[in-house]
């Protein structure tokens, strides 16, 4: 997904206060499926939003990458705690940093669950970043 400079609006629920020098990059994908080995859908990810925020906290520069989405179990349940996802922050085709999550919050199948993850990012990576690859890791599921 493309990360583009954006207005610093809608950040209150993340605890971001308006400040001089605040910079934001945002990207969004409406929906994508996580396919199983047989080609059927095992998970649906919807309203994937990525927000990179550069601000100052206690006099020091601070950058956070927030990845949030809803996930649906599509008639499947995780066999055990899943592997989550990887997010690769990039400048063009050059990877800058890779972030990995723990398990997704998806305690039951057939229901949408909100998920939100935050990662610390070096300031130079924020300045250079223009894309993010979201990779839903392969996960063993069982049909419901």
pTM over 0.75: yes
In terms of Cα–Cα distance, which of 89, 66, 58, 59 is closest to 12?
Answer: 66
Two structure tokens written together for 14: 């993340």
Q: Give the DSSP H/E element, type plus range, for residue 35.
A: strand 23-35
Examine the pLDDT at 73 and tell me if it is beyond 80. Answer: no
Average confidence (pLDDT) over 131-141: 83
Give per-residue pLDDT as tens, 101-135: 988 888 877 888 899 999 999 999 999 999 999 98
């Amino acid at each position: 997904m493309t990360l583009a400079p954006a207005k610093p609006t809608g950040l209150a629920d993340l605890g971001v206060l308006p400040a001089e020098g605040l910079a934001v990059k945002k990207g969004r994908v409406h929906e994508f499926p996580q396919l199983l080995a047989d080609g059927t859908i095992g998970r649906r990810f919807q309203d994937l939003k990525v927000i990179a925020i550069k601000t100052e906290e206690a006099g020091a520069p601070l950058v956070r990458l927030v990845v949030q989405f809803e996930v649906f179990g599509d008639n499947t349940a995780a066999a055990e705690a899943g592997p989550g996802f990887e997010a690769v922050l990039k400048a063009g085709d050059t990877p800058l940093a890779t972030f990995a999550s723990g398990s997704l919050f998806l305690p039951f199948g057939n229901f949408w669950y909100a998920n939100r993850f935050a990662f610390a990012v070096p300031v130079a990576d924020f300045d250079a970043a223009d894309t993010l690859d979201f990779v839903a890791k392969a996960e063993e599921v069982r049909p419901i």
